[in-house]
Amino acid sequence: MKQIQAYGTEDKNAKLKPLTIERRELLENDVDIDILFCGVCHSDIHSAHNDWGGTKYPLVPGHEIVGRVTKVGNAVKKYKEGDLVGVGCMVDSCQDCNSCAEDLEQYCENGMVGTYNGKDKHTGKQTFGGYSTSIVVKEEFVLSIPENLEIKAVAPLLCAGITSFSPLNHWKIKKGDKVGVIGLGGLGHMGIKFAHAMGAETIMITTSPNKAESAKDLGADSVLISTNGEDMTKQNGTFDFLLNTVPVKHDINPYIQLLKRDATMVLVGAIEPLEPMNGGQLILGRKRVAGSLIGGIKETQEMLDFCGKHNIVSDIEMIDMQEINTAFERVTSNDVKYRFVIDMKSLK
């Protein structure tokens, strides 16, 4: 085991602080990555506070990682020292079940290994995330980052990016489709960029009129204020697809009304019980509500390549590692456009 510097927490009520952690030595299929930047995802906060249960302490969050390869194991073929690489929400999976065979490791039937708070398959110990100076990851779970992109703004693509890209890609959004992106946060702002780049007529759907201009700057063709009943009614039955990024309990019925017959709304944020859905809403137009979880490794690479081609990155605010507790507070109060990224040299 090797000792490295990190930032984490030893208690659900404590603030994050410097920690020394142990990580596994380089195995033959491993890539050793010097972490340059790490995005701050709302999940990091939920995990630190054990909001979802299951957190083991000490916890080192961070699953939007960008760095440079410093060393590779003997059997590694895809990467070499100096390569710009990324790591997202997963660092391992069984690679044997139906889901893994279909490049959908996020749905691994034996459970994927989370980048943090997971169980390392080799050491049996806890995995630690990107709020640290380095990380060792199995080659198959390392992504290649297009060099033309602004590196620090790539970090959030590894979670916020793929989470919004995957449903748009899976449900085959194409030129001319009318796509609504519900909620303008870390996921929603990426959803707008992707839907726009895919050629869709992209409509930002938000409760906040003051987000209208920002949404248009990101690529939205127009903005629909969901609290305006009259405007909503006018748009009923007109959307080919809805990407719902709202991360908390809410009423999805007004959004289902926006869908055309046979159209789909995909939830990517709300992992809790929603307000009661009216079955008739689905029945009367053969509509669908579905879910989507991040994306597989293959699709994450496709997303990064798509970003390289279309010059898409996240809109970010840079912080030093020592500012993480303030950043957590600001994320919680929705005060960030749209993602904090930690400059990891502040920890070195």
| Nearer of residues 124 and 273 to its own copies, judged by Cβ | 273
96 sits near its own copies (criterion: CB under 8 A): no
Q: Tokens for 45?
A: 């906060």
Establish if 117 lies at the interface with its own copies (CB under 8 A): no
Of the residues 10, 22, 51, 109, which one makes contact with its own copies according to CB under 8 A: 109
Instruction: Give the separation between CA 115 and CA 129, rounded to whole angstroms.
Output: 5
If the CB atoms of residues 121 and 170 are measured against its own copies, the closer one turns out to be: 170
To 5 degrees, how large is the angle CA 38–CA 267–CA 253? Answer: 145
Q: Which range binds its own copies by CB under 8 A, 56-64, 175-183, 282-290, 309-317?
A: 282-290
Nearer to its own copies, 29 or 238 (CB): 238
Contact with its own copies (CB under 8 A) among 210, 230, 261, 333: 261
In angstroms, the CA 321 to CA 324 distance is: 6
76's tokens: 């590694």
Query: Residue 267 interacts with its own copies (CB under 8 A)?
Result: yes
Minimal distance, residue 283 CB to its own copies, in Å:
3
Query: Which CB, 254 or 285, lies closer to its own copies?
Result: 285
Q: Binding to its own copies by residue 27, rule CB under 8 A?
A: no
Q: Please give the angle made by the CA atoms of 295, 140 and 309, to the nearest 5 degrees.
A: 55
CA 321 to chain centre: 20
Give every CB contact of residue 323 below 8 A, 6+ residues apart in sequence. Answer: none
Q: Is 169 in the site for its own copies (CB under 8 A)?
A: no
- Answer for which of 214, 264, 300, 314 binds its own copies (CB under 8 A) is 264
Does residue 270 belong to the site contacting its own copies (CB under 8 A)?
yes
Upstream peptide bond of 18 is cis (omega within 30 degrees of 0): no
Residue (of 120, 67, 19, 86) closest to 324 by Cα position: 19
Spatial separation of the C-alpha atoms in residues 31 and 16, rounded to whole Å: 27
Query: Cβ neighbours of residue 343 under 8 Å, at least 6 residues apart?
Result: 36, 37, 152, 318, 319, 320, 321
How many Å apart are CA 216 and CA 212, to the nearest integer?
6
Please identify which residue in 27, 293, 308, 323 interacts with its own copies, judged by CB under 8 A. 293
Q: Of these, 20, 291, 298, 310, which contacts its own copies (CB under 8 A)? A: 291
- Residue 164 sits in the site that holds its own copies (CB under 8 A): no
Report the 10 Å Cβ neighbour count for 78.
Answer: 14
Q: Which stretch binds its own copies (CB under 8 A): 10-18, 193-201, 265-273, 309-317?
A: 265-273
Q: Which amino acid is at 61?
A: P
Query: Shortest gap between Cβ of 100 and its own copies (angstroms)?
Result: 11
Q: For its own copies, which is the closer residue by CB, 267 or 312?
A: 267
The reply on whether position 283 binds its own copies by CB under 8 A is: yes
| Residue labelled with tokens 């990851």 | 137
**Region binding its own copies by CB under 8 A among candidate stretches 72-80, 125-133, 280-288, 331-339:** 280-288
Separation between Cα atoms, residue 333 and residue 312, nearest integer Å: 26
Q: Are 103 and 302 in contact (CB under 8 A)?
A: no
Among the listed residues 1, 75, 101, 284, the single contact to its own copies using CB under 8 A = 284
Tally of CA atoms within 13 A in the half-sphere of 233 that contains its CB: 3
Q: Does 212 bind its own copies (CB under 8 A)?
A: no
Q: Decide whether 203 or 289 has the Cβ nearer to its own copies.
A: 289
Residues that bind its own copies (CB under 8 A): 98-99, 104, 107, 109, 170, 237, 261, 264, 267-293
